[in-house]
Amino acid sequence: MSDLKSHLQQGLQQMGIVLSVPQQLQLLAFVELLKKWNSTYNLTALRDEQSVISHHILDSLTLLPYVAEARGLIDVGSGGGMPGIPIAIARPDLPVALLDANSKKTSFLQQAAIELGLNNVQVITGRVEAMVGEQFDVITSRAFAELSDFVSITKQLMAKGGCWAAMKGVYPYEEIAQLPPGVAVVQVDKLEVPNLGAERHMVILQKKDVT
């Protein structure tokens, strides 16, 4: 655990993220929960805990600067809880909804939220297309769908003035070219994730102002 702790601390330091010791311990406890439940619920293909920290925990935390002003976040197709759970740990003041259609995955998410004491987390089982009534400042996903599909099936969840934060690998030129006309690309940022060894980009999108 001490090796994992130093691995996490070094990664956070390289990314300029300051978290309290209790928050760091929550992140490490989440890694343990992923490991414990993985064989039953197929949450991640990664078996090495250090890889889980770089590929899942630190990668998820690249979202932090983009939710600085958010009042509500939904993680669509949350799966094993990335990026939602690491963000919920880092931002206990931010309401975070975790949505997945797979009831096994949401069973894990519910258990993780309870064991980690995440009172700001809401777990929802179902398809995003069927969700109505709730709205969020930030709608995020990590490798959930192509950008055009992502914005089309989640647009009813977008609060006024909100944005989509799509976490992507290589620069998604083709996906951006296929976006529907009512959606604007605000920015595309290349991200640096310690020990990841792969390209990462954050794509921020908003509805175009038609007034």
Contact 67, 88 (CB under 8 A): no
129 carries a ligand binding annotation = yes
In this prediction, residue 209 carries a pLDDT of 76
133 carries a ligand binding annotation = no
In this prediction, residue 211 carries a pLDDT of 46
CB-count burial class (<10 Å; 0-12, 13-18, 19+) for 89 = buried
52 carries a ligand binding annotation = no
Averages of pLDDT over runs of 10 residues in the chain (211 residues) are 87 97 97 85 69 92 97 96 97 98 94 97 95 93 92 95 97 96 97 94 90 46
CB-count burial class (<10 Å; 0-12, 13-18, 19+) for 181 = exposed
In CATH terms, 2-207 corresponds, of 3.40.50.150, 3.20.20.10, 3.40.50.10490, 3.30.2350.10, to: 3.40.50.150
142 carries a ligand binding annotation = yes
202 carries a ligand binding annotation = no
Report the sign of the C-alpha dihedral through residues 168, 58, 67, 89, in that order.
positive
Place of tokens 């990590």: 142
